[in-house]
């Protein structure tokens, strides 16, 4: 098509959009438009299936609801362009500049275009969409299932509520992007840079996060079922699973424990025994597990702020990286417990009062047992340690300011501590 023909076609398309009788919807399907300028063009709902728009100037163009199935947009200038509700299945975007572009509710799933080669034979047009720059783009609600965006830059972009099932985002840079409520089931995020990303409420079930950098990311309420985070960088990340993500049998045990504490005679009312259970990254804020047995439980990264854990048995449990702000662990058995990296601001590790059968104070107390516990790097200056037994505890790098424990007593000798497991 000649430039004059394209200009005439755009003029008629604008008339069609305005509802004019002589207006006509633009149909540029399979056309070679390489290098043409569509600066600020109104191409809403235009037909551009398989069109060659490589190296085109589409700066601030509006292609909302356009059919761009398998179109070639390689090296095109798409800055601040609008692709809201557009069909972008199988589109070729290698080298395109999508800074500030809006792709809200667009469909970027894989697509296959059949084309004729030089011999007239029908063949599949191969599509390469890796190594793209989508910085500050809007993908809110977009369908990106199975899309291949490995090693792409998607910095500070909005992917909230986007569908990214089985997408290949390996090695991609999504720093400070918003993926709240996104569906990332089965997605490949290995080696991805997810620093500061908002993943609140996202579904990451079965996703591959090997080697991913999730430092300072917010994963509150995210579904991380069947996700291996052992090789991911979670420094400063917030990762809590909601109560609803706990297995039914564990929820039943916790309900029975609550009824036991209330003195209810309902079926299943009994002290909780969650020994060796996986409670990692669960939000248990404010829960009352006093008297519960949690020996060997995995509570890595769990949120236990304001929890009541009086006289509970957590011996050998893993509480590394857990948030214990304001929690009461008085009289607990925390021997051999891993508390490295835990937040213990205003956490009470002091003695528990021993009460008589009528619930009255006896004047005696039961100290918290922290023998052989790992407290590496923990800021104990903010914790309440009164008479806790710290014999053999690993306090390497711990902040003991104001605790009354001398520097030379950090590892073995804790003057003033009582013998754990014996009442005073």
pLDDT at 408: 38
Q: Which two tokens stand for residue 322?
A: 């857990």
365 pLDDT more than 50: yes
Q: Which two tokens stand for residue 103?
A: 């792709």
54 pLDDT more than 90: yes
163 pLDDT more than 60: yes
Residue percentage of the chain with pLDDT more than 90: 57
Mean per-residue pLDDT, 32-60? 96
CB atoms within 10 A of CB 226: 11
pLDDT at 404: 59
pLDDT at 224: 85
Q: Which of residues 84 and 137 earns the better pLDDT score?
A: 84
pLDDT at 103: 82
Residue 10: exposure state from Cβ atoms within 10 A (0-12, 13-18, ≥19):
middle
Q: How far apart are CA 82 and CA 103, in angstroms?
A: 6
| Choices 1.10.3720.10, 2.20.25.570, 2.160.20.80, 3.40.50.12280: CATH for 247-424 | 2.160.20.80
Q: Is 255 helix (H, G, I), strand (E, B) or coil?
A: helix
CB atoms within 10 A of CB 384: 17
Query: Which residues make Cβ contacts (< 8 Å) with residue 19, sequence separation at least 6?
Result: none
Domain boundaries, the chain: 247-424
pLDDT at 420: 41
DSSP state, residue 126: P
Per-residue pLDDT tens digits for 257-290: 999 999 877 777 999 999 999 898 888 999 999 9
Report the range of poorest mean pLDDT among 127-131, 166-170, 332-336.
127-131
229 pLDDT more than 80: yes
Mean per-residue pLDDT, 129-152? 76
Q: How far apart are CA 74 and CA 34, in angstroms?
A: 10
Q: Residues 62, 39: contact at Cβ < 8 Å?
A: no
Mean per-residue pLDDT, 146-167? 87
Sign of the CA dihedral with 208 first, then 210, 211, and 212 last: positive
Per-residue pLDDT tens digits for 388-399: 999 999 999 898
Mean per-residue pLDDT, 318-346? 94
Residue percentage of the chain with pLDDT more than 70: 89
Backbone φ, ψ for residue 178 (5° rounding): -105, 110
Residue 180: exposure state from Cβ atoms within 10 A (0-12, 13-18, ≥19):
buried
pLDDT at 355: 82
pLDDT at 406: 43
203 pLDDT more than 60: yes
pLDDT at 412: 39
Write down the mean pLDDT value for the chain.
86
Q: Is the pTM of this model over 0.85?
A: no
58 pLDDT more than 90: yes
**pLDDT band at residue 381, thresholds of 50, 70 and 90?**
confident
């Amino acid at each position: 098509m000649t430039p004059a023909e394209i200009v005439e076609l755009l003029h008629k398309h604008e008339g069609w959009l305005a509802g004019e009788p002589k207006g006509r919807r633009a149909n540029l399907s399979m056309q070679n438009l390489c290098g043409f300028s569509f600066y600020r063009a109104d191409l809403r709902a235009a037909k551009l299936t398989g069109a060659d728009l490589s190296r085109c100037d589409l700066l601030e163009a509006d292609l909302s609801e356009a059919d761009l199935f398998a179109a070639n947009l390689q090296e095109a200038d798409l800055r601040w362009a609008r692709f809201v509700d557009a069909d972008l299945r199988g589109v070729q975007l290698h080298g395109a500049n999508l800074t500030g572009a809006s792709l809200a509710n667009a469909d970027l799933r894989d697509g296959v275009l059949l084309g004729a080669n030089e011999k007239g034979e029908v063949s599949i047009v191969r599509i390469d969409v890796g190594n793209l720059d989508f910085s500050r783009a809007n993908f809110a609600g977009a369908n990106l299932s199975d899309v291949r965006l490995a090693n792409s830059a998607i910095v500070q972009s909005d992917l909230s509520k986007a569908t990214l099932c089985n997408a290949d985002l390996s090695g991609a840079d999504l720093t400070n992007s918003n993926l709240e409520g996104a569906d990332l089931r089965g997605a490949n995020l290995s080696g991805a840079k997810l620093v500061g990303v908002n993943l609140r409420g996202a579904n990451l079930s079965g996703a591959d996060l090997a080697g991913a950098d999730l430092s300072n990311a917010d994963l509150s309420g995210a579904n991380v079922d069947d996700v291996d985070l052992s090789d991911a960088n979670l420094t400063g990340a917030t990762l809590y699973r909601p109560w609803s993500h706990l297995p039914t049998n564990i929820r039943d045990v916790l309900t029975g424990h609550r009824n036991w504490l209330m003195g209810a005679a309902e079926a299943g009312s009994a002290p909780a025994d969650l020994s060796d259970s996986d409670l990692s990254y669960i939000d248990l804020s404010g829960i009352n597990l006093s008297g519960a047995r949690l020996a060997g439980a995995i509570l890595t990264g769990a949120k236990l702020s304001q929890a009541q854990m009086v006289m509970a048995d957590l011996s050998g449990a893993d509480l590394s990286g857990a948030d214990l702000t304001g929690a009461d662990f008085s009289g607990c058995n925390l021997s051999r417990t891993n508390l490295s990296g835990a937040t213990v601001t205003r956490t009470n590790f002091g003695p528990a009062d021993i009460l008589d059968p009528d619930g009255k104070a006896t004047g005696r107390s039961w100290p918290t047992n922290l023998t052989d516990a790992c407290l590496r790097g923990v800021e104990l200056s903010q914790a309440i340690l009164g008479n806790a037994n710290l014999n053999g505890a690993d306090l390497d790098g711990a902040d003991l300011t104001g605790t009354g424990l001398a520097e030379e007593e950090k590892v073995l000798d804790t003057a003033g501590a009582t013998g754990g497991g014996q009442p005073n």
